[in-house]
Structure 1
């Protein structure tokens, strides 16, 4: 987590989201949250918060039983590296190529570097003689927060 973001916890200490420091200060002014952990830096009358906890519990029905939106940016954030060589991920590769009916889904897409993506081309990893370093799957809610 970077210094520009503050983790917001529910009243039950479950992680909800990350917000900017500016938004966090507004939450403190409105008294909808309290500081759980802060940095040594001052921001007016407040210390710059790292973690906030909401004063009242927020029901999160929308996170349960619903799959997260699968986008290329989310795939790269999930994998953090090339699924074939472990290098810097620049693109997204479809394990089953789109030309063969593969879709952009959590189970069929992996992050890849340009070199590996071009090498695999319009083939499956087995046909290209390449192995996956990770098994693509839908991330849990906490992995995306």
Structure 2
């Protein structure tokens, strides 16, 4: 194979393909080599959304048209997903490393919105990031007793595929 044909082939293999689930939920972006394997083994099919780009990939015995979008046809791509366990790292990530009472980003701790001593649980909807000062001021009391207000309502993280889908469709505009 000549150097010129190799240099023409290389950029195609660096392209990305979007993989959709059986239900057309975008799951991930993969490299074109992985997409070829999924298509050749019958685990995926090409999708055509009208303006979809296609690349032609040749081997000595096969010429493939690889679509920019493919859909899985086998297996269970919607694996059972559960929210990660409540941890300091995950709470800080969810709350963007910001106190949920005053907005400070310094000296963060975890606070139970409903204190454990009053029946509060260590769950996604009851634990927030709070700076030491706000956590101390709130103490072992309920929010209405302190007059403090949460900046955002605490909730469990959403499925990563949904986060990806929201980001994917935003970048397509």
If the TM-score is normalised by the length of the shorter chain, which range does it land in?
0.5 to 0.7
2:19 to 11, 22, 47: 11
Q: Secondary structure at the match of 2:19?
A: coil
2:78 is aligned with 1:84: no
Alpha-carbon displacement from aligned partner over 1:60-88 (angstroms, at most 9, x marks no partner): 3222xx33322221111111111100111
Equivalent pairs counted in the alignment come to: 108
- Structure 1 residue runs of 5 or longer lacking an equivalent are 1-7, 18-26, 35-52
Q: For residues 129 and 9 of structure 1, do their structure 2 counterparts lie closer, same or farther at Cα, with a shift above 3 Å needed?
A: farther
Tell me by how many angstroms 1:137 deviates. 1.4
1:137 to 135, 148, 155: 155
**Contact between 2:19 and 2:28, CA under 8 Å: does it hold in 1?**
no
Larger Rg: 2
1:97 to 102, 108, 115: 115
Q: Which has the higher helix share?
A: 2
Q: Secondary structure at the match of 2:80?
A: helix
**Contact between 1:96 and 1:102, CA under 8 Å: does it hold in 2?**
yes
**Contact between 2:19 and 2:27, CA under 8 Å: does it hold in 1?**
no
Q: Tell me how large the CA RMSD over aligned residues is.
A: 3.3
**Contact between 1:9 and 1:15, CA under 8 Å: does it hold in 2?**
no
TM-score of the superposed pair, with normalisation by structure 2: 0.50
Q: Which has the higher strand share?
A: 1
Q: Secondary structure at the match of 2:105?
A: coil
